[in-house]
Amino acid sequence: MSKKDFLTLKDFSREELLHLLNLALEYKADPSIYHDALKGRTIGMIFEKPSTRTRVSLEAAAFRLGAHAIYLSPRDTQLGRGESIEDTARVLSRYVDLITARVFDHKNLEALARHGSVPVINALSDRFHPAQVLADLMTLKEKKGDLEGLVLTFVGDGANNMAASLAIGGAILGMEVRIATPEGYQPAGDVLEFVEQNAGTLKVFHDPEEAVQGADCVYTDVWVSMGDESQKQERMAAFKPFQVNLRLFERAKDDAVFMHCLPAHRDQEVTSEVADHTRSVIFDEAENRLHTAVALYLHLLLDR
Ligand code: CP
Ligand code: NVA
């Protein structure tokens, strides 16, 4: 069997995604079932950017399954001194059973997957963050049941990795994804194309109030993603009208949930009133990173 990577959700069918979600839910309900399922395996973790949730959930999930994870910052490997990504992929594949990587340039992730012989998991790139969206979909399934037909409104940077992966995941699972974003921050062409090809529903709005009307879920993310720091000033100005505050959140459905991949910048993209609202599920999303990491490992390494 050829190896399978997890670089974007584009390569996953509806059935496969639902299977991963069910596996994660099964594990969450009884973490003892896969105890030591990956005993003796090793996971390499290349992280070019900081991380709390992704790093710790991937490491903890590996440990829970009996595997050993090796965290590699640019300071720790020869990548930081100019060894090519291609050679690094070939070398690491001789030692580890799976590579997970957080990179600035999504192309480096593709190169790792192409030149390595072990599965590669995207731990966030400039373009996509599918591991986060897997946890988000699991959370929505727990809170709302069937995902098909749900309306999710993402308010903020419509061109970032989270918006792209939510649009793709939503299209695969038959959700209506709305993106409320300023002019100039629309999702990239390949994302729009994927949604269209998969008969998904993606609507771009420039008025956040209109976009959240009737939404089952209001989602936001930072205004300045890792790597976009040089644009901080213009972004803070452009996204100011797109803050998720109580007034905006209350325009969504009465039982709407608030979601955020975290880290949150309170009083920028979200106020504490919303982040700490009784219908905020941000820490469930964070917890579900662990359960979905387990599901991903089991699926990619054991074909579960
Ligand atoms: N949501 C998320 O990926 O968080 P970290 O950057 O802390 O990993
Ligand atoms: N869009 C954010 C997500 C952080 C988890 C970033 O890339 O920094």
User: CATH 3.90.730.10: does it fit domain 9-128+289-303?
Assistant: no
Atom of ligand 2 nearest to the CA of 51: 5
Active site residue ranges: 102, 129, 132, 221, 261, 289
Q: Which CATH architecture has domain 132-285?
A: 3-Layer(aba) Sandwich (3.40)
Q: What is the number of other CB atoms lying within 10 angstroms of the CB of residue 111?
A: 18
Residue of the CA atom closest to atom 6 of ligand 1: 51
Paired with 202 in beta bridges are: 177
261 lines ligand 2 (CB under 6 A): yes
Residue ranges matching CATH 3.40.50.1370 in the chain: 9-128+289-303, 132-285
53 lines ligand 1 (CB under 6 A): yes
Residue of the CA atom closest to atom 3 of ligand 2: 225
Distance CA 32, CA 30 (A): 5
- Nearest 5°: phi and psi at 81? -110, 20
Distance CA 122, CA 102 (A): 6
How far, in Å, are 3, 113, 133, 135 from residue 302 at the CA level?
11, 18, 22, 20
Instruction: Read off the pTM.
Output: 0.98
* pLDDT bracket for residue 80 (50, 70, 90): confident
Distance CA 157, CA 141 (A): 24
Q: pLDDT digit string (tens) for 230-275?
A: 999 999 999 999 999 999 999 999 999 999 999 999 999 999 999 9
Q: pLDDT digit string (tens) for 117-135?
A: 999 999 999 999 999 999 9
Residue of the CA atom closest to atom 7 of ligand 1: 52
